Structure 1
Amino acid sequence: MTISNTPPSARGILLFAHGSRDARWREPVEAVARSVIAQDPTARVACAYLELVEPDLPTAAGALIAHGARSIRVVPLFLGMGKHVREDLPLLIEQLRTAHPAVDFSLAPAVGEAPEVIALLARMALKN
């Protein structure tokens, strides 16, 4: 789990991805977390996974809360709004809200739907 070593912050960012049995699959997800911290050293960032790898969403959220987060933005690192993001994740967020009523949880759109990500993927597809 990646959580910066800075003093506790009231805001946490939870990068949420699917998960895989292949340990190398996590590398890009954790690279995003490191990049967030490099851009904002005060950021409290953790990675969480839906299945097949730890930590899961409740565990990662608990770590952010233990480090002082009072609001947590969950960012789904998915290309689209499939069933996991559309149905499973909102249920998990509601469970977090019930378990931690003093914490403000917000859910960002799937990153793959952002115009910047779509443009980047198109540029990458056009590279020689």
Structure 2
Amino acid sequence: MKALLIIAHGSRRQKSNDEVTQIAKELSEHTKHDFDLVESAFLELASPLIPDGIEQCIKSGAREIIVLPYFLNSGRHVTEDIPQIIAAQKARYPDTQITLRPHIGASSIMLDLILRMATDK
């Protein structure tokens, strides 16, 4: 079973956290992807935290987890904190393939998205 875990910073503002959870829910209901499970987790300030999100994916049967940081910039969280958390989880679950993908802001499609958002009416 293959899971997608979307991770965000987390906020004291619950509505912000709910937006990330809703994205994961909508993706899980979307039919055009290769994931059996789509979940969300947070770095801090909200639940579930990243380690708990990974554990939940594994408890649901995932043997491969793609971790996608829902971050625009490569700040300290993206370059240091998240990789450290993922490395610890890989050590904790050696029988599960956990892959950390680049943050969404690093994607080349962001340029097109920015232009589209700026010109849509």
Q: Could you tell me the TM-score, scaled by structure 2's length?
A: 0.90
Residue 66 of structure 1: which of 32, 40, 59 is its match?
59
CA RMSD in angstroms, aligned pairs only: 1.6
Displacement over 2 Å in runs of 4+: 40-43, 125-128
> Paired residues, what number?
119
The gaps in structure 2 that reach 5 residues or longer are none
Q: Does 1:16 align with 2:1?
A: no
Equivalent of residue 98 in structure 1, options 81, 91, 99 = 91
The Cα offsets for residues 55-102 of structure 1, whole Å up to 9 and x where unpaired, read as 001111111100110010000000021110111111011100111110
**Greater Cα shift, 42-51 or 68-77:** 42-51
- How far did 1:119 drift? 1.4
Q: Which aligned pairs between 1:1-128 and structure 2 lie closer than 5 A?
A: 10-40=1-31, 43-128=36-121
Please say if residues 49 and 55 of structure 1, whose CA atoms lie closer than 8 Å, have aligned partners that are also in contact. Answer: yes
In structure 1, stretches of 5+ residues that fail to align are: 1-9
| TM-score (normalizing by structure 1) | 0.85
